[in-house]
Chains A and B, each alone.
Chain A
């Protein structure tokens, strides 16, 4: 069955109320672990259809004929009627899918950097680098027909730190938008693998808190549902949460020109002047709010329908300061180098908890490692106490990219 026949069938089932999505992807992955080397080539094609008859239905398959069958079978269950979104329109021609570049072979160099950075205490145990390209296309009942190409280099690295009989494992995901940033990856691996081996607890109960970009990115990822208004958070609506010169922005323009529903990607300031800014919206949220979609219909795979989500969050400030300057500004506190448990954000109850490993800092100077420390309290207070930011650093997969930056928070309690 051709795509044209599929659109005809969808139009017959749900006149003016359907969307068809195509995805084609190729990737190449190299994994090295100890002496094992594996290389994986993947090539994938898939299609998905959404339609309202008037119940919302979704079907996905690997080819047109299977999708046609899945569409018929998806009509089996009675479903309560849903609200039809307002479809975007526009056109963008389909680019050609070019072969993904082979992932760079950086295992040896990273292993050397990890050993040097940790003074021999940490060893790189695994490195997986995946390089992939995709072509996506969205067609809908309103005449939209847009296609775009995107590429990414992602992966994860693992290291083990050893001191005497003690050991600690680090697994660090990464995403390289440009050239591989090996020194940064090596430093993150070493910190996560070796700092917990020290016996030292947090020497301060209250002080400044300097967040490494990956830790700040985890905070942003935890806040993301707030920007989608998925959770009721009355505390966030009160305002006065961030310094006026600091804002939080979502802009995936550098990744893809359209979202998974074919809406053009745009820059959205989600937190500005201390309070919530424009909410992120996909087509369903736009319909619910009687507003326009901001291009945040995220489709992690063709197998799942698009859902509302942040696509590339980052902090922005009018007066960025270099990380060294932020460190110099710490009177007494902790540098959170890596999280040792997922950052917990309870957006409904305005609570957070972060468990991390890091370095004690006094008068801007490192005083020695801290094996583990915990900070917990009100999210609103944490945001209010962010006083300075470094320029945006690298992006971290979460799974959509979140860009981290060194962040200074004043007067935080630790235990």
Chain B
């Protein structure tokens, strides 16, 4: 991305004259390759190359943002001109728009992945309907009176359904996997596919009522994303507001939001306001910790209040404080011991959706399948259902004795809030939650 830095500061300077004003230029270039797979064959391909630029001004509770879909100096001039006009400040003179600079996109190929996927799918899930996506997102943030920052992420997703065999015959199962591109990701994907394709027993509808559950395989990350990340986003009002440093869970529980974990889907080197992220302890030895924050124009000069969680879905969106990667510290309990302690209940190792209502603190998590646990042993396969509860109540009922290993939960990939969808992920050990309301969706 080649914006002239002197032009950027020239346009930002009149927007951030006062100490309480924030102004920045945000540039994004996004390339995406998408392959639609059906039964081992690519049936459609998509290639997109889109870009956008936004100039933002903020003071106190007022914010203005102008976004255009070109990232050159003409786009910067156009957006700045519109913003300065909206603020009634010295308007940038009109200049004839230069033609777009041409096709200057970084090479991005999906061929290596296509060949790997062909072999992987043939072996583990030959009958499928999948969508594979490789997205490269390049961002540049230039704040007024602060150093600029750039970031580049390559994210891979595989989503869809496949036919697996089970004791009752063929079964269509959903599969979802998200991760940043790395040397080991293909192996992880292969292992995840192999696990997902394992044969299952015939399911029975999930019994309804209050039950104790083990959230296993890292899926507890979805629970903490809903009950800690969202309520602790800067500005959110929830049952956790006003309980700063209060003990709300067992002392063994340590949960942090760690955007610096670049091996997870939600990681980044700098947030969308140009601030380097810091890991934030959401729960420190069972006590409520800090909040996820973005830049605050009201902060005293020289005092940065942001912990690097100002995130945007795209250039046309203003940054909001959002979570990134929920990381739960492991304990020291074995899987067998957890099963023994649960005694009766459900073993759930996949959650495919979640939501939280912040005002009341009630949340819901959807699971596609579960195993019943009887006398500390896994028994019947259960069909899909919903888990429901209330934030403070469920935090109190998380039992001491967390699993000794943390598992990355790759099916968690995206989070939507106010129409803005950003990548997120998390890892968590197996843990027991007592007294969740369970409802069957069979």
Contact = CB atoms under 8 A, between A and B. Distances in A.
Interface of A: 34-46, 55-71, 73-74, 76-80, 82, 128, 156, 160-162, 166-169, 303-305, 341, 344, 353
B65 A82 contact: no
A61 B111 contact: no
Contact of A58 (B46, B52, B67, B103): B46
Nearest to B110: A77
A38 B109 contact: no
Given A66-B100, A160-B359, A303 B78 contact: no
Contacts of A36: 61-63
Contact of A341 (B70, B358, B364, B419): B364
A62 B50 contact: yes
A65 B49 CA distance: 11
A331 B33 CA distance: 57
A63 B105 CA distance: 12
Contacts of A78: 42
Contact of B67 (A43, A71, A74, A77): A43
A73 B111 CA distance: 11
B48 interface: yes
Contacts of A63: 70, 100
Contact of B360 (A37, A82, A128, A168): A168
28 contacts: A34-B61, A36-B61, A38-B62, A39-B65, A40-B64, A41-B83, A42-B67, A44-B52, A45-B70, A46-B50, A57-B44, A57-B47, A59-B49, A60-B49, A61-B49, A62-B49, A62-B69, A62-B100, A65-B102, A65-B103, A69-B105, A73-B108, A77-B33, A78-B42, A79-B44, A160-B359, A167-B359, A168-B360
Given A66-B105, A77-B45, A43 B68 contact: yes
B357 interface: yes
B86 interface: yes
A338 to B, nearest CB: 13
B35 interface: yes
Given A56-B44, A62-B51, A63-B70, A43 B63 contact: no
Contacts of B41: 80
A39 B86 contact: yes
Contacts of B114: 77
Given A59-B48, A62-B69, A169-B358, A79 B42 contact: yes
Given A60-B50, A61-B49, A303-B48, A76 B61 contact: no
Most A CB atoms within 10 A — which of B45, B51, B82?
Answer: B45
Contacts of A44: 52, 67-69, 316
Contacts of B42: 77-80
Contacts of B357: 168-169
Interface of B: 33, 35, 41-52, 61-70, 78, 82-83, 86, 100-103, 105, 108-111, 114, 237, 316-318, 357-360, 364, 418-419, 441
Given A38-B64, A41-B66, A44-B316, A73 B46 contact: no
B68 A303 contact: no
Nearest to B83: A41
A162 B41 CA distance: 54
B67 A41 contact: yes
A123 B352 CA distance: 32
A26 to B, nearest CB: 10
A82 B44 CA distance: 8
Nearest to B388: A341
Nearest to A25: B69
Given A38-B63, A57-B44, A69-B49, A166 B360 contact: yes
A6 B282 CA distance: 52
Contacts of B316: 40, 42, 44
A169 B67 contact: no
A303 B316 CA distance: 15
Contacts of A74: 45-47
A109 to B, nearest CB: 20
B308 to A, nearest CB: 21
Contacts of A303: 48, 50
A201 to B, nearest CB: 15
Most B CB atoms within 10 A — which of A43, A45, A71, A168?
Answer: A43
B371 to A, nearest CB: 23
Given A74-B46, A80-B41, A167-B359, 19 more contacts: A36-B63, A37-B63, A39-B64, A40-B66, A40-B318, A42-B68, A43-B69, A57-B46, A60-B48, A62-B49, A62-B50, A63-B70, A71-B47, A73-B47, A76-B110, A77-B33, A77-B111, A77-B114, A305-B46
A136 to B, nearest CB: 15
B45 A55 contact: yes
Shortest 8 CB-CB contacts between residues of A and residues of B: A69-B103, A74-B47, A169-B359, A38-B63, A167-B359, A63-B100, A35-B61, A60-B48
Contacts of A55: 44-45
A68 B46 contact: no
A58 to B, nearest CB: 4
Given A62-B69, A76-B109, A43 B50 contact: no
B389 to A, nearest CB: 15
A266 to B, nearest CB: 27
B241 to A, nearest CB: 11
A46 B33 CA distance: 17
A58 B45 contact: yes
A306 B317 CA distance: 24
A358 B23 CA distance: 46
A55 B44 CA distance: 7
Contacts of B44: 55-58, 79, 82, 305
A38 B45 contact: no
A304 B47 CA distance: 10
Given A39-B63, A60-B48, A63-B100, A168 B359 contact: yes
Nearest to A40: B65
A127 B50 CA distance: 29
Contact of B43 (A43, A82, A167): A82
A34 B237 CA distance: 12
Contacts of B109: 76
A45 B70 CA distance: 9
Contacts of A344: 441
B69 A46 contact: yes
Contacts of A73: 47, 108
Contacts of A169: 357-360
A221 B322 CA distance: 30
Contacts of A37: 61-63
